[in-house]
Amino acid sequence: MLKLSTSLLCLLVINGCSSTSGPRVTDPGTHEIFRNAVVHEGPELVAVVAYLQGKYSVAEEWLILAVELTSPRGSGPNLINRSDISVRTPDGHRLELISQDEYRRNFAGIRIPVERSLNFLPLLYRYEPSRLPCDRWFLVSPPEMIAFDEISINSSQACSGPLVFSVPGGVQPGRWRLVIELEESRADIPFIIEIED
């Protein structure tokens, strides 16, 4: 955990010098690592959420996040179920992660924004190369066939991919929260979507 915190602190300093000043995230355990990505460090979960695609999707139906999940150093493995993942809209509505079937049905229309969002990853692996990528995720793009309803995360691997949410009325600017329910805690990860200039 100390090694990850030190690496992320260095990343914050480097990016803080080179990025424009964006909205600050001040919730305990969540820190902005550059203008369109935050890292959450909790007792059971370390998560990176990249949300640049969100600001290009204002008023559109789909919120697409690029996410990496791992366990903190020294902690045991944790199971995360698809039903444990949701977002809260700026006006407080809870939206569930879409199913693999819905993802596959709509993939032709969201393929380019999904691919664009995934260009941000990997972030954890880039600064923590001892964490290997895992081969499990909740949503997989065609022609791959195996999506998982539950993944096990541990401190030696970082699992990553897109998280996609259908947003009735369209994506709105403001403060959003990615929420992941864990066995003994809840990761409540805020991020702010701004209108693209």
3-state SS track over the chain: CHHHHHHHHHHHHHHHHHCCCCCCCCCCCEEEEECCEEEEECCCCEEEEECHHHHHCECCCEEEEEEEEECCCCCCCEEEEHHHEEEECCCCCEEECCCHHHHHHHHHHHHHHHHHHHCCCCCHHHHCCCCEECCCCCCCCCCCCCCCCEEEECCCEEEEEEEEEECCCCECCEEEEEEEECCCCEEEEEEEECCCC
**By residue range, what is the domain housing residue 98?**
2-193
Higher pLDDT, 144 or 68: 68
Query: Taking all residues of the chain, what is their mean pLDDT, rounded to a whole number?
Result: 84
Q: Order across the sheet with 174-181: list the strands.
A: 94-96, 85-88, 174-181, 186-193
**pLDDT reported for residue 53:** 85
Q: Which one is predicted more confidently, 152 or 26? A: 152
Kindly report, residue by residue over 114-135, the tens digit of the pLDDT. Answer: 999 988 787 775 666 677 888 8
| Count of domains observed in the chain | 1
pTM of the model: 0.84
Over 50: is that where the pLDDT of 172 sits?
yes
The CATH code of the domain that includes 183 is: 2.60.40
> Is it the case that residue 79 has pLDDT exceeding 90?
yes
The better pLDDT of the pair 4, 132 is held by: 132
Query: At residue 27, does pLDDT exceed 70?
Result: no
